[in-house]
Structure 1
């Protein structure tokens, strides 16, 4: 048996590092990462690329070597751009996975430390509590009412009770602590654990696909067939008119490559990944990519109060004892050793024994540390009394009981101390401790205490009562009966200063902010009113009220309720279901293991990064790294922005592709010369489709994006007039490109010059259109150009590329272009800019 001193000391840092080198990291072998070389060459493993390369070879064999080399260069450049996108996405997702890695509490150098689970090694002493995931295989060395879910390994859903010195004393990586607490000594790590035996199964789990990406992939397949059909028609009509067979074949392939938005799903993934990275900078870690889409639909945010809406910096402000309330900041508390002992001993605060300053030495639940800070001085030797050796038995806090009990041994005598919700403790008390004497607790005295508690709650104080018992200390349910009431501590947790503004932003965005708390109704109402979450006490509902009504009645009541007080985790699940039944998209926060069902039921499950348990994090879609409500609102805004940006580049890509196809199709229908050479079509695909589309994916949000109502979850990405915008603008691009070509023919320009006019008009139309796509509600005149420098750089790059193939003789010869004069540029700008100008003026007038 491990000695007590060794138990709380754990390994030294030096010894832990030595063992890590010997036994390796505590992690399962990862799926082999795809090398950058394979990622690069996979960019060319595409049907359209192979067709284009075949056409290039044919073109080269027929003597068009310059065209063949140029097309090959374009293919390689496109491959490099695709590689950069995919490689950056992989890196981003890897970084996010590492940030989401589990942590655990261990004893190192005599102190409790929170470390990454992968840095555990043999001999480490791990502290386990309800809701924790066991990070390595180990053997119990100390436990109290410990029950573990081992269904991951055994398939049995019934929890297993653990104990010392028996078969059930072993714990295994990946299992979950359902209740109780304990210490385990690590016996196996990494691939040598029981979990290591099924590691290969874990490697085969595929990443979740975004529903939007799946829909766009389906759309892409439809567009492929449509575009291939049009390209076949263009090619056939050209051949029938007597055009060169090889040239028309290359034209058809080039048009197909340019017209088919094969990169659309990839750009969606890149946009989502970049959005996830931006969210991380705002302290929101997204665990599941599809959650980003759902965030933009959120219409209800159900949030815990403590630590999320408030600062989680608890201080005791008032204390009730001896028939009166004492203000801690204004008067000295009279001596009450039983009250001090109850709040200090019945407490799970951790203590850094190497730190002399008590303020810095304490860490753990803020409510419990606040009690320690106020009452420890009356006891004295805090270090000794906080040691586990003085606690001989305990019943951990349970959200349904709302109490915690411990039996402490002092000077050979055992005493039970209890703390919890005042109304729950009063039910179990038969006596009261006042001014050093134990008296009978009468019904009138109970009513008086309840009135004092209500008054404290009305001042937004969280009230915790204390009681004790020094006889009949039978282990079990009877332990918490016939108690002696001592007093109540009123603890204040002020609201976070940024939350009030976040609540206002929610309201403007059509989102209902809902507070859910275990606190007293009056305490919850006082905080909620200060934050403008609710206006009247009628908007507050308690767990007791939820308990006695049906789901149908709850469904009706949640529509007007803004605060739920004194609720249990089972109530949270019913609340989420009721809101969802009301056709809401619900985001739900939680930290405890019992919150996991409600978090999983919610459309967006949000766990606490600081105070959340491993089980809750596992069930959630998003983790708040700072436990802050304002971070949820920021994530919702980011989710809306990402979805908006996806619509932007869908609008841009499909409009441009439609314009290209329509230009060639109309020319074929009207028996006109082909307005664009194959190499020019490929150039347009390179110059305008890639960089500007990606730059739209990082476009900042519209200034009024959080003033719009949440979109429906089932809403099509083409809803709200997007299809009409694509069809109209794409048609205009195609018609204007063809008209500029015809103007060139009309003025007697040669075919290359006329095609150069068409090419320049097509490119400039698309580059002007990309700025129109930045907003669906505002015109170009209202959008500041420099708010997206990446887009400006992308457009300037595309214009530079156009000028190079027009004015550099070597390139001009390859792309069959001519140097345009000022007069010819005016023709280009007229056709590319006039329609955009008219469209912007119309939108400006319409919005105004």
Structure 2
């Protein structure tokens, strides 16, 4: 039950709020405060989308033809392939949507508002424009609002703007007084009046950019082109066979059945099943890596990606502030460790005076822990993570104090706070007064260097102040957030704590940042080896963006003067028209808005960008024919995630908007999974091309045998049933098993295939013709040899030889011949050989297929054909591999 309303202490200062009756009226007028969720796609619509696939349409046409001629067995096989392909695709989409829904959580289910002069808790969706909302530390802001009053308010806006550091909010001077829906108050208190809800809010405006993704994936475009070509070529060749057969005196019924059988043989009807199996296996592998595939085609699309646009905060970085460097007048130190766990080391720099420097560092962190309002919580489970409540900057200071061996809880018990001056945007510093065990008082102060390193605050020599300012400037230039910390001890507590902010001793400087994830550098290096261009797009400060880019190797070829002591790189603005190397550019959203950048694809780092600008950057790359991927976790990433060829969202840290806009959700937020996904995509595409090479070589050979056999004296080389049986054994179980072949060892050491390249491009057409000609020659040679000897079994010999030559080629095209990574393929080939031989000796099959049993020596051509097919496949694969390596 909801709590009873009680008089609010804010009522007198902020007014009485809206009357409940007026709030109800506005709710009816403006609607609920929620961004409309997308309607669920009905199952029938998903089924129709699957059936619109070009190759499925070709198969449906073949199904109609086989039913028309009464070939029910083959009709059953084709229908089975269509049903399986459609069922797997629809099932995967439905399961993925359910998995994403399981990750979702309402952003702000409850809001505190003033209604009729009393404070009430209402559902966030019932907040209306004009409501007075009350905010405290940890609250999610339910709607856009304007501040009426605030006290030391800091708001985490990273989900909306990409800014990694909490933003100060206030009502006076130049302070930012705008509150955005979906952001979080991490420190302080505030009262605001709601200015926009629902679709009119910041979240709603971003959601408006999330219209349904249009267009097709690279794989779909390539297969659509293939389907059109196959349909035209198949119809033309089958008409030729029909006409030539009628010209030789064959009956119309026999040649019609033969032509339709050739049509079925020429169309690789197992291709949809191969594609679906490959994608499903890829999705299963990705699920094992904590990645949820929302669309099966997304896995393959990653394999075709040529450009990766990535967000910074929470994607490439840890998403939490960490103290990395400390400077004191007696020496400097670095700290190890990530996250809020107080686990790591304080390592003194060379030249520091032991133990004076270590004592100075400890004194600094004692003061930082006392001048602090954040709290850390240990994990409830052994493998859980430490969490923080409060300002992330203050939480980072507590973590660093723990690494220095300071027990915060014991410290605050021994030195209780008796006075404080909160941080505000005007003073840019915070002061606390604590009672020491000896009865004295200790004044601790922290703040921005420019607000602390002044003679009015510090009682230090001018030389020391100048050294500290230079060190602060160096650290800031390296992309760090820098704080100065000072302290003094006095006999009596000051009447006003603010009067104690003078005559302090400088303890030193702390430099903190949101560090890159340990896996991020390796991930981006793997992308470079794979020929993928990486672009960083963030709403953060240019210097911060440049620093992270430098540490991750995105800004290569920079001048030594741009690189800080820890690999940080100072941002440099790109000026339009300058012939600056693309990887040296750091461009801001302001420059984009001013139209200073003519070609967005020449820039590698973007900072201070809006959601609309992120979308424009992705669209600029797509307009050049590049296959784009976008990773992100915030609301501000949603439009770009939706419109990229593939969007990848963080599942744990990511917002609901980002997850719903994405095609792939990384449940563990591990950016390294993207590399695995790219490898999976390339494996899938390689297997599709491998199957096409195998299936179309066999289909080409079957048509060529039927065209060339009669002029050579073989009146009707193959009967319709024999053609369909070969097709069933090669394109059926064997062809589908090819979809499970492992990835090539060099898959990630070659550039992605050009987006405009046909699925049979890069020499595959030539190889189809070469292998098809080889199988044709071997099969016709065996048939002519048997016919020349005067036997009546020449057609059965040709039938078995044509089958085994194709199966031998299938094994020869494997990435590694002697491997059990895909045991299904050798098992399928063995089964197909067995069924092929059974067609000659099982009476029922002999009657159905009109074959004759062969003697031992008559089986030799089939055996030799299998060996030749195997050898040809291995030779072609090795030549192709050598060409690929040379290209790389």
Cα gap change, 1:487/1:161 in structure 2, threshold over 3 Å: closer, same or farther? farther
Cα gap change, 1:78/1:247 in structure 2, threshold over 3 Å: closer, same or farther? same
Q: CA deviation at 1:723?
A: 0.9
Q: CA deviation at 1:299?
A: 4.9
Cα gap change, 1:79/1:408 in structure 2, threshold over 3 Å: closer, same or farther? farther
Contact 2:367 2:444 in 1 (8 A): no
Aligned to 1:256: 263
Partners in 2 of 1:591 and 1:490 — Cα distance? 26
Aligned to 1:426: 449
Q: Does 1:797 align with 2:797?
A: no
Q: CA deviation at 1:650?
A: 2.0
Contact 2:108 2:140 in 1 (8 A): no
Partners in 2 of 1:40 and 1:551 — Cα distance? 46
Aligned to 1:220: 227
Gapped regions of structure 1 (runs ≥ 5)? 8-25, 57-70, 104-115, 127-133, 151-158, 166-173, 184-191, 196-200, 384-389, 396-400, 420-424, 474-482, 776-781
Contact 1:407 1:417 in 2 (8 A): yes
Aligned to 1:296: 303
Deviations 1:181-218 (A, max 9, x none): 379xxxxxxxx9999xxxxx99x969864343234234
Aligned to 2:795: 755
Deviations 1:150-176 (A, max 9, x none): 9xxxxxxxx9537899xxxxxxxx999
Q: CA deviation at 1:689?
A: 0.7
Cα gap change, 1:570/1:770 in structure 2, threshold over 3 Å: closer, same or farther? same
Partners in 2 of 1:55 and 1:417 — Cα distance? 91
Aligned to 2:589: none
Contact 2:323 2:396 in 1 (8 A): yes
Partners in 2 of 1:824 and 1:99 — Cα distance? 58
Deviations 1:15-68 (A, max 9, x none): xxxxxxxxxxx9877344359999999999923212211211xxxxxxxxxxxx
- Of 816-825 and 579-588, deviating more is 579-588
Cα gap change, 1:689/1:647 in structure 2, threshold over 3 Å: closer, same or farther? same
1:137 is matched with which residue: 108, 125, 137?
125
The count of residues paired between Structure 1 and Structure 2 equals 723
Q: Does 1:489 align with 2:510?
A: yes
Q: Does 1:240 align with 2:282?
A: no
Q: Does 1:49 align with 2:52?
A: no
Q: Does 1:452 align with 2:475?
A: no
Aligned to 1:90: 90
Partners in 2 of 1:99 and 1:685 — Cα distance? 39
SS of 2:740 mapped into structure 1:
coil
Q: CA deviation at 1:683?
A: 1.3
Q: CA deviation at 1:639?
A: 2.2
Q: Does 1:822 align with 2:856?
A: yes
1:439 is matched with which residue: 414, 438, 458?
458
Aligned to 1:766: 806
Aligned to 2:758: 716
Deviations 1:726-747 (A, max 9, x none): 1221222233222222222112
- Of 644-653 and 263-272, deviating more is 263-272
Deviations 1:304-340 (A, max 9, x none): 6776667778764654467864677474522777633
1:700 is matched with which residue: 724, 734, 742?
742
SS of 2:184 mapped into structure 1:
strand
Counterparts in 2 of 1:545-556, with a 5 A limit? 545-547=571-573, 549-553=574-578, 556=581
Q: Does 1:558 align with 2:583?
A: yes
Deviations 1:252-308 (A, max 9, x none): 222222222355456435533443333333344445556545533445556567766
Q: CA deviation at 1:629?
A: 4.0
Counterparts in 2 of 1:348-387, with a 5 A limit? 360=386, 362=388, 369-374=395-400, 377-378=407-408
Contact 1:742 1:754 in 2 (8 A): yes
Q: CA deviation at 1:725?
A: 0.6
Partners in 2 of 1:535 and 1:662 — Cα distance? 60
Partners in 1 of 2:868 and 2:712 — Cα distance? 24
1:33 is matched with which residue: 23, 43, 47?
43
Q: CA deviation at 1:545?
A: 4.5
Q: CA deviation at 1:847?
A: 6.5
Counterparts in 2 of 1:42-191, with a 5 A limit? 46-56=60-70, 71-101=71-101, 103=103, 116-117=104-105, 137-139=125-127, 142-143=134-135, 160-161=144-145, 180-181=183-184
Contact 1:605 1:620 in 2 (8 A): yes
Q: CA deviation at 1:247?
A: 2.3
2:483 is matched with which residue: 442, 465, 480?
465
Q: Does 1:277 align with 2:319?
A: no
Deviations 1:793-826 (A, max 9, x none): 2212222221332222222221212222221111
Partners in 1 of 2:859 and 2:812 — Cα distance? 21
Partners in 1 of 2:753 and 2:506 — Cα distance? 53
Q: CA deviation at 1:616?
A: 4.1
Contact 1:299 1:511 in 2 (8 A): yes
Deviations 1:68-98 (A, max 9, x none): xxx4233224433432333223222222222
Partners in 2 of 1:351 and 1:365 — Cα distance? 14
Q: CA deviation at 1:682?
A: 1.4
SS of 1:690 mapped into structure 2:
helix
Contact 1:769 1:836 in 2 (8 A): yes
Gapped regions of structure 2 (runs ≥ 5)? 9-35, 114-121, 150-158, 162-179, 187-197, 202-207, 335-344, 348-357, 414-419, 436-442, 487-493, 498-503, 587-601, 883-888
Contact 2:563 2:570 in 1 (8 A): no
SS of 1:489 mapped into structure 2:
strand
Partners in 1 of 2:832 and 2:124 — Cα distance? 54
Q: Does 1:733 align with 2:775?
A: yes
Partners in 2 of 1:179 and 1:80 — Cα distance? 48
Deviations 1:519-543 (A, max 9, x none): 76996588447x9977973676999
Cα gap change, 1:606/1:379 in structure 2, threshold over 3 Å: closer, same or farther? same
SS of 2:458 mapped into structure 1:
strand
Contact 2:485 2:509 in 1 (8 A): no
Aligned to 2:731: 689
Aligned to 1:653: 695
1:339 is matched with which residue: 364, 368, 372?
368
User: What TM-score, normalized to structure 1?
Assistant: 0.68
Q: Does 1:509 align with 2:509?
A: no
Q: CA deviation at 1:651?
A: 1.8
Cα gap change, 1:502/1:222 in structure 2, threshold over 3 Å: closer, same or farther? closer
Cα gap change, 1:564/1:748 in structure 2, threshold over 3 Å: closer, same or farther? closer
Contact 1:664 1:674 in 2 (8 A): yes
Cα gap change, 1:319/1:578 in structure 2, threshold over 3 Å: closer, same or farther? farther
SS of 2:709 mapped into structure 1:
helix
User: What TM-score, normalized to structure 2?
Assistant: 0.65
Contact 1:321 1:488 in 2 (8 A): yes
